Amino acid sequence: MTADITLVDKVIVVTGASRGIGAAIATAAANVGASVVLASRKQEGLDAVAEQIRAQGGIALPIATHTGQPKAVDALFEAVIGEFGAVHGLVNNAATNVYFGPLLGIDEAAWDKTFEVNVKGYFNAARAFATRTKGGSIVNIASISGMRAAPLQGVYGMTKAAVISMTQSLAVELGPGNIRVNAIAPGLVETRFAQSLVDDDEMRKHFVDRTALGRHGQPDEIAGAAVYLLSEAASYMTGQVMVLDGGMTAT
């Protein structure tokens, strides 16, 4: 019997939820019944997304959090447990890409910042979630940049490759505890994060011309996959990377 894609009675934490893919995932999860906890660095952006979700009849709790700081992440999850009594899903989406240029040209501060947010932040949240749940689903937002060469975004690509490796290792280690861990690897998606690529005609053409669908993606097109992975419809799926890139890696 096929499970319905529903998150009724589930509590889902989404990091990087103040805009873009994170906001779209949080909204989609709320639309299928989840109580969503929105985490990001700035409270103002979270409040705006929470207000939109509540206006549609959903339940949203916005909590400003620096995921690169373990104590802050622990405080986030303690607040979630205090408010809802349980947590069932985590979407690791908060990310940064502070340097665009030749790989050998990056400075140490930019390197450290990228790894702190994109790798350490994911790990901090995954550990905090796994130690407070009796079973559930982790969805890590990776990138096709972590699956192939990422010219001019080399360190960002390294962090996303690390996310994919982390996903697979955690899937094996956490499986006996009934925690599934999967990743989504988007291609170019129109968000503020990727705005410099989308707005640059030459760069956008570089990506779009290599996709089978001939276009870049939208945040809502990533959200549906995340909701599926969070739900019982994906109950036998773990340790996998779902690629959503318009066919770019197939060409």
What sign does the dihedral 198-202-207-213 (CA atoms) show? Answer: positive
Catalytic residue list contains 156: yes
Return d(Cα 232, Cα 135) in angstroms, integer: 11
Contacts of 241 (CB under 8 A, 6+ apart): 142, 147, 164, 167, 182, 183, 184, 185
**Residue of 99, 156, 228, 236 marked active site:** 156
Question: CB-based contacts of 206: which residues, under 8 Å, 6+ apart?
Answer: none
Q: Active-site residue numbers? A: 156
